[in-house]
């Protein structure tokens, strides 16, 4: 058994945001990329990373989010954040799950970040296995101005400095806060409970766990990840950007698995599309939900397919 298999993991997914910038009656995390809700992508990544338990924090006015979770991941526990008082407050809404998860680690994810990958979560977990009490995902940006900076000294993350509070020297730092965090389970609840709300907004910020951990002499480490991995979706433009990244990744994966895309940029995939090797896809094809294509089949140009299983004898 490897170290990760012997290090039980609880994934806490924060999905209570109102998403007012989406200008929609649909909860933000239910908007789709690749015909799958944003939240569904995060749940899938946590499952692929081998999370042993899932806790999803939802808002009091979005019952459809809880229903979706129960349908997709019936083993997950859902918790309601009745007041939106910051990210640390949101994680503590899942207190019963944290209290029963005493060993291993806790990964805190965001339900509006659909591009997070299982490998990234595994890297955060490995950092905790190797002794860090807190691991923070960070990314390098050529345009870091709006982001909090990760202040790293001698391999240790000393602080997260918000852009508005940063000195000129700190603003020159390009390693930015990605939001996603990991905690060793034996320190997680204790650290969260020490976070206060003495700030202008009166909210409890998850990032303050870094300061608390350092003050207690615990190891805090930044883990560099690709910027697109932790892209959050807050408006329609960001939703569009996430869709484009998803499609680019999915086309690349299809070709690496032996699929021919004669005009790759014109082919659109769903998250559950299954194509066997030696499938040939002509231009301007849309794979809707529930499509499976067997080895050697050809998909003609301008096809729009949904809920169908195609074998070579049945060319679309």
How far apart, in whole angstroms, are the C-alpha atoms of residue 15 and residue 192?
Answer: 18
Supply the DSSP string of 152-215, one letter for each residue: EETTEEEEEE-GGG--HHHHT--EEEEEEEEEEHHHHHHHHHT----STT----TTHHHHHHHH
- Residue 238, H or E segment: helix 236-256
Q: State how beta strands 36-37 and 32-33 pair.
A: antiparallel
Residue 179 — left, alpha, or beta (φ > 0 → left; ψ -120 to 50 → alpha)? Answer: left
End-to-end CA separation in angstroms for the chain = 46
21 noted as active-site residue = yes
Q: Which of 103, 120, 78 is nearest to 183 (CA)?
A: 103
Residue 114: name the closest of 222, 247, 275 by CA.
247
Determine the 3-state secondary structure of 57 from DSSP: strand
Catalytically annotated residue among 21, 95, 194, 280: 21
Q: 């799950």: which residue's tokens?
A: 97
* Other CB atoms within 10 Å distance of the CB of residue 67: 12
Asked if 50 and 5 count as a contact pair (C-beta separation under 8 A), the reply is yes
What is the dihedral sign for C-alpha 85, 88, 94, 96? negative
CA 157 to CA 179: how far, in whole Å?
14
Structure-derived torsion over alpha carbons of residues 295, 300, 301, 302, reported in degrees to the nearest 10:
-100
Torsion over CA: 190, 191, 196, 201 (sign): negative
Query: What residues are labeled active site?
Result: 21
């Amino acid at each position: 058994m490897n170290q990760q298999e012997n290090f039980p993991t609880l994934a806490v997914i924060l999905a209570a945001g109102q998403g007012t910038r989406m200008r929609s009656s649909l909860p933000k995390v239910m908007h789709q990329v690749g015909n799958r809700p944003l939240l569904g992508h995060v749940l899938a990544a946590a499952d692929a990373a081998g999370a042993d338990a899932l806790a999803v924090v939802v808002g009091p006015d979005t019952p459809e989010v809880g229903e979706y979770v129960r349908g997709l991941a019936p083993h997950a526990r859902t918790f309601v954040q009745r007041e939106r008082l910051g990210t640390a407050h949101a994680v503590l809404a899942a207190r019963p799950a944290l209290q029963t998860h005493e060993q291993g680690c806790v990964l805190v994810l965001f339900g509006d970040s659909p591009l997070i990958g299982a490998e990234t979560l595994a890297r955060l977990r490995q950092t905790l296995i190797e002794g860090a009490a807190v691991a923070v995902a960070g990314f390098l940006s050529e345009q870091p101005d709006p982001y909090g900076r990760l202040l790293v000294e001698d391999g240790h993350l000393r602080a997260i400095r918000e852009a508005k509070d940063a000195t000129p020297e700190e603003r020159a730092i390009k390693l930015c806060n990605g939001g996603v965090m990991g905690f060793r389970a034996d320190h997680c609840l204790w650290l969260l409970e020490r976070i206060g709300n003495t700030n202008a907004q009166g909210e409890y910020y998850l990032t303050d766990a870094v300061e608390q951990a350092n003050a207690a002499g615990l190891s805090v480490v930044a883990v560099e990840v690709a910027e697109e991995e932790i892209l959050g979706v807050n408006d329609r433009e960001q939703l569009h950007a996430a869709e484009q990244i998803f499609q680019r990744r999915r086309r690349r994966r299809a070709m690496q698995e032996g699929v021919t895309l004669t005009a790759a940029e014109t082919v659109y995939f769903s998250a559950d599309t299954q194509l066997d090797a030696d499938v040939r896809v002509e231009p301007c094809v849309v794979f809707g939900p529930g499509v499976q294509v067997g080895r050697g089949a050809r998909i003609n140009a301008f096809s729009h397919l949904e809920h169908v299983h195609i074998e070579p004898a049945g060319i679309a």
